[in-house]
Amino acid sequence: MKLVFATNNKNKILEVQQMLPATIEIISLESIGCFEEIPETADTIEGNAILKANYISEKYGYDCFADDTGLEVEALNGEPGVYSARYAGEQRNADDNMNKLLNALSNKPNRNAQFKTVIALNLNGKQHLFTGIARGEITLEKTGNQGFGYDPIFQPEGFSKTFAQLSLEEKGGISHRGKATEQLIYFLKIK
Protein backbone atom coordinates (compact mmCIF):
# COMPACT_ATOMS: atom_id res chain seq x y z
CA MET A 1 0.00 0.00 0.00
CA LYS A 2 1.21 3.49 -0.84
CA LEU A 3 0.10 6.53 1.12
CA VAL A 4 1.05 10.16 0.78
CA PHE A 5 2.24 11.69 4.05
CA ALA A 6 1.18 15.33 3.89
CA THR A 7 4.29 16.89 5.40
CA ASN A 8 7.47 18.55 4.20
CA ASN A 9 9.20 17.69 7.47
CA LYS A 10 11.83 15.09 6.52
CA ASN A 11 12.39 14.22 10.21
CA LYS A 12 8.73 13.26 10.59
CA ILE A 13 8.85 11.17 7.41
CA LEU A 14 11.91 9.26 8.66
CA GLU A 15 10.40 8.77 12.11
CA VAL A 16 7.08 7.46 10.77
CA GLN A 17 8.51 5.33 7.93
CA GLN A 18 10.71 3.55 10.48
CA MET A 19 7.59 2.55 12.44
CA LEU A 20 5.56 1.34 9.46
CA PRO A 21 5.67 -2.25 8.20
CA ALA A 22 7.40 -2.80 4.84
CA THR A 23 3.98 -3.29 3.22
CA ILE A 24 3.20 0.44 3.65
CA GLU A 25 5.27 2.87 1.61
CA ILE A 26 5.22 6.57 2.34
CA ILE A 27 5.15 8.91 -0.63
CA SER A 28 6.40 12.43 0.06
CA LEU A 29 4.70 15.63 -1.05
CA GLU A 30 7.72 16.32 -3.22
CA SER A 31 7.12 13.01 -5.05
CA ILE A 32 3.59 14.04 -6.03
CA GLY A 33 4.68 17.52 -7.12
CA CYS A 34 3.24 19.36 -4.12
CA PHE A 35 5.68 22.14 -3.26
CA GLU A 36 3.25 24.68 -1.81
CA GLU A 37 2.83 25.28 1.90
CA ILE A 38 -0.39 23.58 3.02
CA PRO A 39 -2.51 25.96 5.12
CA GLU A 40 -2.68 25.28 8.86
CA THR A 41 -5.38 27.74 9.81
CA ALA A 42 -7.53 25.67 12.18
CA ASP A 43 -7.67 26.53 15.87
CA THR A 44 -7.21 22.92 17.00
CA ILE A 45 -4.61 20.22 16.42
CA GLU A 46 -7.31 17.93 15.02
CA GLY A 47 -8.49 20.68 12.68
CA ASN A 48 -5.03 21.22 11.19
CA ALA A 49 -4.50 17.49 10.57
CA ILE A 50 -7.86 17.34 8.78
CA LEU A 51 -7.12 20.47 6.72
CA LYS A 52 -3.82 19.04 5.49
CA ALA A 53 -5.21 15.59 4.64
CA ASN A 54 -8.21 17.08 2.83
CA TYR A 55 -5.96 19.44 0.88
CA ILE A 56 -3.98 16.54 -0.61
CA SER A 57 -7.02 14.35 -1.26
CA GLU A 58 -9.00 17.15 -2.89
CA LYS A 59 -6.21 18.81 -4.88
CA TYR A 60 -4.11 15.76 -5.84
CA GLY A 61 -6.55 12.85 -5.52
CA TYR A 62 -4.38 10.61 -3.35
CA ASP A 63 -5.17 8.50 -0.32
CA CYS A 64 -3.08 10.15 2.36
CA PHE A 65 -2.54 10.94 5.97
CA ALA A 66 -1.49 14.11 7.73
CA ASP A 67 -0.60 14.85 11.28
CA ASP A 68 -0.48 17.84 13.49
CA THR A 69 1.26 18.01 16.83
CA GLY A 70 1.21 20.44 19.68
CA LEU A 71 2.96 20.75 23.00
CA GLU A 72 0.43 21.53 25.73
CA VAL A 73 1.86 22.95 28.96
CA GLU A 74 -0.37 22.75 32.03
CA ALA A 75 0.87 25.93 33.75
CA LEU A 76 0.31 27.90 30.52
CA ASN A 77 -3.30 26.76 30.05
CA GLY A 78 -2.34 24.42 27.21
CA GLU A 79 -0.04 26.80 25.36
CA PRO A 80 1.65 26.70 22.93
CA GLY A 81 -0.76 23.99 21.67
CA VAL A 82 -1.85 24.42 18.07
CA TYR A 83 0.67 27.28 17.74
CA SER A 84 3.68 25.17 18.85
CA ALA A 85 5.63 25.48 15.58
CA ARG A 86 5.26 29.28 15.47
CA TYR A 87 5.13 29.99 19.20
CA ALA A 88 7.96 32.55 18.99
CA GLY A 89 6.99 33.84 15.53
CA GLU A 90 6.37 32.93 11.91
CA GLN A 91 10.04 32.03 11.39
CA ARG A 92 9.24 28.68 13.09
CA ASN A 93 12.61 28.49 14.82
CA ALA A 94 12.89 25.63 17.34
CA ASP A 95 15.47 27.41 19.52
CA ASP A 96 13.37 30.58 19.67
CA ASN A 97 10.29 28.51 20.57
CA MET A 98 12.12 26.63 23.34
CA ASN A 99 13.65 29.83 24.74
CA LYS A 100 10.24 31.53 24.85
CA LEU A 101 8.72 28.52 26.59
CA LEU A 102 11.53 28.24 29.14
CA ASN A 103 11.18 31.96 29.89
CA ALA A 104 7.41 31.64 30.30
CA LEU A 105 7.95 28.83 32.83
CA SER A 106 10.86 30.45 34.70
CA ASN A 107 8.81 31.22 37.84
CA LYS A 108 6.38 28.31 37.64
CA PRO A 109 6.86 25.16 39.74
CA ASN A 110 4.37 23.15 37.66
CA ARG A 111 6.25 21.97 34.56
CA ASN A 112 3.79 19.23 33.52
CA ALA A 113 3.23 19.02 29.79
CA GLN A 114 2.09 16.68 27.08
CA PHE A 115 2.70 16.28 23.39
CA LYS A 116 -0.46 15.54 21.42
CA THR A 117 -0.47 14.23 17.85
CA VAL A 118 -3.55 13.73 15.73
CA ILE A 119 -3.32 11.81 12.45
CA ALA A 120 -6.08 12.27 9.87
CA LEU A 121 -6.22 9.41 7.38
CA ASN A 122 -8.16 9.85 4.14
CA LEU A 123 -8.58 6.37 2.66
CA ASN A 124 -11.08 5.23 0.04
CA GLY A 125 -13.23 8.33 0.48
CA LYS A 126 -13.49 8.08 4.27
CA GLN A 127 -11.67 9.93 7.03
CA HIS A 128 -10.34 8.37 10.24
CA LEU A 129 -8.62 10.12 13.18
CA PHE A 130 -5.97 8.69 15.52
CA THR A 131 -4.65 10.47 18.62
CA GLY A 132 -1.45 9.88 20.56
CA ILE A 133 -0.39 11.57 23.78
CA ALA A 134 2.98 11.53 25.55
CA ARG A 135 2.97 13.00 29.06
CA GLY A 136 6.00 14.39 30.78
CA GLU A 137 7.51 17.65 31.93
CA ILE A 138 9.49 20.59 30.64
CA THR A 139 13.11 20.53 31.80
CA LEU A 140 14.97 23.58 33.12
CA GLU A 141 17.38 23.63 30.17
CA LYS A 142 17.98 22.09 26.75
CA THR A 143 19.63 18.67 26.79
CA GLY A 144 20.46 16.34 23.90
CA ASN A 145 20.88 16.72 20.16
CA GLN A 146 18.59 14.05 18.67
CA GLY A 147 15.08 14.72 17.46
CA PHE A 148 13.63 18.09 16.59
CA GLY A 149 11.28 20.81 17.82
CA TYR A 150 10.85 20.86 21.59
CA ASP A 151 12.57 17.46 22.10
CA PRO A 152 15.58 18.93 24.03
CA ILE A 153 13.30 20.30 26.78
CA PHE A 154 10.69 17.53 27.03
CA GLN A 155 11.33 14.69 29.47
CA PRO A 156 8.74 11.90 29.07
CA GLU A 157 7.18 10.25 32.14
CA GLY A 158 9.29 7.43 33.52
CA PHE A 159 12.51 8.63 31.86
CA SER A 160 15.48 10.60 33.13
CA LYS A 161 16.35 11.73 29.59
CA THR A 162 14.74 14.18 27.20
CA PHE A 163 13.32 13.10 23.83
CA ALA A 164 16.48 14.64 22.31
CA GLN A 165 18.64 12.14 24.24
CA LEU A 166 16.73 9.08 23.01
CA SER A 167 17.37 7.16 19.80
CA LEU A 168 14.69 7.20 17.09
CA GLU A 169 13.71 3.66 18.12
CA GLU A 170 13.39 4.56 21.82
CA LYS A 171 11.44 7.73 21.09
CA GLY A 172 9.20 6.00 18.53
CA GLY A 173 8.12 3.46 21.12
CA ILE A 174 6.84 6.05 23.61
CA SER A 175 6.19 9.25 21.68
CA HIS A 176 2.89 10.89 20.86
CA ARG A 177 3.54 10.39 17.14
CA GLY A 178 4.54 6.79 17.79
CA LYS A 179 1.29 6.10 19.66
CA ALA A 180 -0.87 7.71 16.96
CA THR A 181 1.09 5.87 14.26
CA GLU A 182 0.59 2.53 16.07
CA GLN A 183 -3.17 3.13 15.91
CA LEU A 184 -2.88 4.01 12.21
CA ILE A 185 -0.88 0.83 11.49
CA TYR A 186 -3.35 -1.35 13.40
CA PHE A 187 -6.24 0.19 11.48
CA LEU A 188 -4.50 -0.34 8.12
CA LYS A 189 -3.73 -3.98 8.97
CA ILE A 190 -7.39 -4.80 9.71
CA LYS A 191 -8.70 -2.97 6.62
**Mean pLDDT across the chain:** 93
Residue pLDDT, tens place only, 39-71? 889 999 999 999 999 999 999 999 999 999 999
Q: Active site residue: 68, 95, 96, 151, which one?
A: 68
Q: Report the share of the chain in percent with pLDDT over 70.
A: 99
- Report pLDDT for 191: 66
Averaged pLDDT, 113-136? 97
CATH of the domain at 60: 3.90.950.10
- pLDDT bucket at 189, cuts 50 / 70 / 90: confident
- Report pLDDT for 165: 96
Preceding omega of 80 cis (within 30 degrees of 0): yes
Averaged pLDDT, 110-137? 97
Q: Report the share of the chain in percent with pLDDT over 90.
A: 75
Q: How many domains does the chain have?
A: 1
Q: Quick check: is 68 catalytic?
A: yes
Q: Which of 1-15, 77-91, 155-169 has the lowest mean pLDDT?
A: 1-15
- Report pLDDT for 146: 87
Range of the domain at 121: 2-190
- Report pLDDT for 91: 85
- Report pLDDT for 76: 97
